[in-house]
Chains A and B, each alone.
Chain A
Amino acid sequence: MIRLERVTKIYSDGTEAVREVSLEVERGELCVLLGPSGCGKTTTMKIINRLICATSGKIYIDGMENTSINENELRRNIGYAIQDIGLFPHMTVGENIGTVPALKGWPKARRRKRAKELLELLRMNPVDFIDKYPRELSGGQRQRVGVARALGGDPPILLMDEPFGAIDPITRVDLQNEFLKIQQELQKTIIFVTHDIYEAIKMGDKIALMKEGRIVQYAPPADLLYRPRDEFVAGFVGADRGLKGLQLIRTKEVMWRSPPTTKPDEEVMAARERMEREGIDWLAVVDDEGRFTGWVLSSHLEEGRKVKDIMSTSAITATRNAVLSEALSLMLTSGPNVLAIVDRSNRLEGVLTLQAIQNALREAAQKEESQ
């Protein structure tokens, strides 16, 4: 889908920003460009949509050389989220998202419909936001709109330069998860720039680790973690590979799928029996609609009462797409060594236990030893 062949960029002041980079990204794949500041990530990306002209080398998009396509035509079919978001302050959220559709000549009603769809996709209420101006948005909302704008013309290819850069870690994790979910549905071909190794491992199907304008290793995240090609890669990946490995695993892969539950009106006696039968010291409490409301722990059991009298309510939950490192930190704040995994309407889908995370860590460590 995207192929770079020995691409080099030397700026007019002599800076060799990109040297002999070759890279191939398959259709539907998310390729992360990772590396320290100044290693040439942004430059590589801008060469693809011809914002920067390569000094030598070739870029093919769907088998066609990118210089053979009219540059504006090319760019309208490659979604682009720039490093500084760059929302147009004089346009509403809807108009911003409709930029490429407008350039493609879509009528107004269709542009607005598209903007609404995309806002919904990024979990922003269209009614509230479509007519707002960028200055009325929070940082996280702006980044969402930036991503929505890149998706505006429904391009098959996306270039995203640190799209979740300037936001707090919690919002960032939310956005990452939502974006991954969207990507599962849309299957775009994406080049995603970051200098955050955690983000790279989590988001990438493949990671191209760059250093001083060259690609040092281009491989799936697990390979980068467990089979680093040289000292630089190993150093960049860092020592705590086991923990980073937790970024590679999603809760749905290791959670307990129909976990034992109880209801608020159940007798405590019955709850105790179930715990003993399952050999665990907790039960998830769900209401009649299956929504998670809290935990009953064996240490709280008291005879002759109802579950609702002794349960501890809890709102700390994660989704099935959360990676284990996020789930672990949530679990540590939630108290019990279990974490409820819920869907969008808070219905319980599973339970993640500390035991399951430990097992995953152990497996990861074994992988590392066996390399």
Chain B
Amino acid sequence: MLEAYQFVSRHPEMLAKWAVDHLWISLVAIGIGAVLGITLGVFITAKGREPMAEVVLYFAEIMMTVPSLAFFGLLMLLLSHIGLSAIGFLPAVITLILYGQLPILRNTCTAIRQVDPALIEAGRGMGMSQRQLLFKIKLPLALPVIMAGLRNAMVLIIGITAIAALIGAGGLGVPIFRGLRNARMDLIIIGGVSVSILALLVDGLMAMLERWITPRGLRG
């Protein structure tokens, strides 16, 4: 414990670099993942696409059960096969995006399906197009639940990003794995505790954001 503290006070710039890398990878992954997941979620929730929704959600669930390490490995093979960088940032972000899909997709679907049919009928009856229904009624009403899904995904992603250090993506996994290799307890503690703190912080921030973007008329 003491060693960990000493290390941090001697090399604060190293910890800062790991943390910033970690956050950056996670943010890119959640950003792209959110756009992808919400768009896909909206798409598969449309009328008549129920079977497609089932299939997509099923795959997202399966994805969650594959150990992330195994998936990193698979992806490295695939990427090098098509001549892309097989280590570092790219494979890490791709994996993280995929792991974040389940909570985002699931919440998007549930939230949109939960919108009171009477409201949709009112909107249709007043002459809203499908697009206007989506942007003026369904999405605003679904927003708090979608946001909760993003929060789940973000916490999940911050955790898995630690493993991404194994494929050379950097982040707070770096001290953890270095500590494991060299039997340096202090490094393991620094990495582990930092990941937890980061996850808690981001979760708290996103909880605030969630409250903030909830339409005023829906706040209890």
Contact = CB atoms under 8 A, between A and B. Distances in A.
Given A75-B124, A86-B121, A149-B126, 20 more contacts: A51-B124, A72-B128, A76-B126, A82-B122, A82-B125, A83-B118, A84-B118, A86-B116, A87-B122, A88-B123, A89-B217, A89-B218, A90-B215, A90-B216, A90-B217, A99-B123, A99-B128, A103-B126, A103-B127, A133-B217
A53 interface: no
B132 interface: yes
B141 interface: yes
16 contacts: A49-B125, A72-B129, A73-B127, A75-B124, A75-B125, A75-B127, A82-B122, A86-B118, A88-B137, A89-B141, A90-B140, A90-B141, A90-B216, A90-B218, A103-B127, A134-B217
Interface in A58-95: 71-76, 80, 82-92
A71 B128 CA distance: 10
A242 B113 CA distance: 50
Interface in B43-72: none
A82 B216 contact: no
B119 interface: yes
A88 B119 contact: yes
B217 A103 contact: no
Nearest to B143: A90
A135 interface: yes
A159 B124 CA distance: 14
Contacts of B121: 51, 82, 86
B127 A72 contact: yes
B118 A82 contact: yes
Contacts of A90: 140-141, 215-218
A224 interface: no
A118 interface: no
B122 A88 contact: yes
A4 interface: no
Interface residues of A, number: 29
A92 B124 contact: no
Interface in B194-220: 215-218
A94 to B, nearest CB: 12
Nearest to B140: A90
Nearest to B216: A133
A86 B132 contact: no
B55 to A, nearest CB: 25
Interface in B100-146: 116, 118-119, 121-129, 132, 137, 140-141
B120 to A, nearest CB: 9
Interface string A28-58: 0000000000000000001001010000000
A103 B137 CA distance: 13
Given A89-B217, A103-B132, A134-B217, A80 B125 contact: yes
Contacts of B129: 72
B127 A92 contact: no
Given A84-B118, A86-B121, A86-B122, A100 B127 contact: yes
A80 B128 CA distance: 12
A159 B126 CA distance: 11
A53 B216 CA distance: 36
